[in-house]
């Protein structure tokens, strides 16, 4: 057995080479009779020390010791009170022993035992300053059709991308400790979802909202309302020409595009949209911090109220 270990300030994280969900060679392995603790990463375990005696624990189990005649039957020479295991040697599923239904098994407890593992090789593949703790990435995001799909998917740890070398040589449980990033598409989903959930509709509005592009416009109250006229009888679908009915209305705001992005999909970015900023971090913890910092700063700008300057009549704006 080959064991890989990662040393931390509070113990060791260990896994067995070639281990998978179907072949867990560390099942019931103990170090100085101390059992391994499961961790958040499948196939990885934690132990305080790996220098002790390595054994495999054989758990307590029950075995049939003999068979006893059921209480409702009377013992006779042909049906004794107890019989040994060999009594039912001919018993099978297809041809059960004729007396099998008269008896019930009597069990004995086999206590826990330990078998020494002599052929074990341990390699410390990495050392980490401080403790190794789980760093969860979980950003619920909207699907392609947010009004019907809702947040039916999340950007999680499995979406993290590492450099090629780190991907090849970094132990699975340490990948969240390496420089990482999210794809343009996943970064876009996080930004789009956060804007939709936190935009102040009195101050800004989303004018384009698709899985391939997003545009946000600021709603800027005019310094003075503007009048304009509309023909309420005009319609593109009427075949009969109707007499114009002009109605005076007032425009009280103007809209100004302040933010637009699009994800890179199939190697391309939609139209002339700027590509979504890709979220990166020195590790998963730093990546989360960078994402939250960007989103907080973005919403502060989007939700900042503005109005036209009354002096220059819209050539400038003020808070």
Phi (first) and psi of residue 266, to 5 degrees: 55, 35
Residue 312 in this model has a pLDDT that exceeds 80: no
Mean pLDDT of the chain: 89
How would you classify residue 127: left for phi > 0, otherwise alpha for psi between -120 and 50, otherwise beta?
beta
Q: In the structure, what pLDDT confidence band is assigned to residue 165 with cuts at 50, 70 and 90?
A: very high
Structure tokens at 119: 């052929």
Greater confidence (107 vs 314) lies with 107
Q: How far apart are CA 184 and CA 56, in angstroms?
A: 47
Residues 255, 219 contacting (CB under 8 angstroms): yes
Residue 127 in this model has a pLDDT that exceeds 70: yes
Structure tokens at 74: 């009377």
> In this structure, what DSSP letter does residue 169 have?
H
This prediction has a pTM of: 0.76
**Domain boundaries, given as residue ranges, for the chain:** 2-58+113-127, 61-110, 138-223+253-313
Q: Indicate the range of 81-85, 235-239, 241-245, 277-281 predicted with least confidence.
A: 235-239
Structure tokens at 185: 């598409």
CA of 91: how far to CAs of 73, 80, 81, 100, 108, in Å? 20, 17, 19, 8, 21
Residue 149 in this model has a pLDDT that exceeds 90: no
Helix axis angle for 284-302 and 184-198, nearest 10°, is: 40
Residue 231 in this model has a pLDDT that exceeds 80: no
End-to-end CA distance of the chain: 68
Residues 292, 284 contacting (CB under 8 angstroms): no
Structure tokens at 75: 């013992």
Residue 315 in this model has a pLDDT that exceeds 70: no
- Tell me what the mean pLDDT of segment 20-29 comes to: 74
Phi (first) and psi of residue 226, to 5 degrees: -110, 140
Nearest to 132 by CA among 284, 9, 285, 36: 9
Residue 21 in this model has a pLDDT that exceeds 60: no
Segment 97-100 long-range contacts (CB within 8 Å, at least 24 positions apart): none
CA of 288: how far to CAs of 190, 292, 297, in Å? 11, 6, 14
Structure tokens at 15: 């896994």
Nearest to 181 by CA among 133, 137, 151, 141: 137
Residue 245 in this model has a pLDDT that exceeds 90: no
Structure tokens at 117: 């593992």
Segment 89-96 long-range contacts (CB within 8 Å, at least 24 positions apart): none
Q: Indicate the range of 84-93, 175-184, 216-225 predicted with least confidence.
A: 84-93
pLDDT for the residue numbered 234: 76
Residues 142, 54 contacting (CB under 8 angstroms): no
Q: How far apart are CA 93 and CA 160, in angstroms?
A: 53
Structure tokens at 287: 């990546």
Residue 318 in this model has a pLDDT that exceeds 70: no
Q: How far apart are CA 177 and CA 283, in angstroms?
A: 5
Task: Give the 3-state DSSP-derived string for 1-45, with helices as H, strands as E and coil as C.
Answer: CEEEEEEECCEEEEEECCCECCECCCCCEEECCEECEECCCCCCE
Q: In the structure, what pLDDT confidence band is assigned to residue 156 with cuts at 50, 70 and 90?
A: very high
Residue 316 in this model has a pLDDT that exceeds 70: no
A 10 A CB-CB count for 302 gives: 20
Bridge partner residues of 153 (DSSP)? 141
């Amino acid at each position: 057995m080959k064991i890989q270990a990662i040393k931390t300030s509070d113990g060791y994280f260990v896994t067995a080479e070639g281990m998978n969900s179907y072949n867990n060679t560390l099942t019931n392995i103990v170090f100085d009779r101390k059992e391994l603790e499961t961790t958040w990463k499948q196939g990885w375990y934690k132990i305080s020390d790996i220098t002790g005696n390595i054994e495999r624990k054989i758990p307590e189990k029950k075995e049939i010791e003999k068979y006893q005649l059921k209480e409702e039957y009377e013992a006779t020479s042909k049906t004794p009170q107890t019989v040994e295991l060999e009594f039912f040697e001919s018993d099978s599923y297809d041809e059960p022993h004729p007396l099998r239904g008269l008896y019930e098994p009597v069990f004995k407890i086999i206590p826990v035992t330990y078998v020494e593992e002599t052929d074990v090789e341990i390699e410390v593949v990495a050392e980490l300053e401080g403790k190794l703790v789980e760093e969860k990435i979980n950003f619920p995001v909207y699907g392609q059709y947010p009004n019907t799909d809702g947040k039916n998917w999340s950007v999680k740890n499995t979406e993290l991308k590492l450099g090629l070398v780190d991907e090849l040589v970094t132990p699975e449980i340490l990948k969240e400790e390496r420089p990482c990033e999210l794809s343009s598409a996943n970064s876009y989903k996080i930004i789009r979802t956060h804007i939709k959930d936190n935009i102040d509709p009195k101050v800004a509005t989303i004018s384009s909202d698709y899985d391939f592009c997003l545009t946000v416009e600021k709603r800027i109250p005019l310094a003075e309302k503007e009048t304009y006229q509309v023909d309420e009888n005009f319609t593109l679908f009427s075949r009969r020409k109707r007499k114009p009915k002009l109605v005076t209305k007032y425009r009280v705001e103007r809209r100004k595009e302040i933010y637009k992005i699009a994800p890179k999909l199939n190697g391309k970015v939609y139209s002339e949209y700027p590509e979504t900023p890709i979220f990166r971090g020195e590790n998963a913890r730093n990546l989360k911090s960078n994402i939250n910092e960007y989103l907080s700063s973005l919403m502060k700008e989007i939700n900042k109220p503005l109005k036209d300057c009354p002096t220059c009549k819209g050539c400038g704006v003020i808070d």
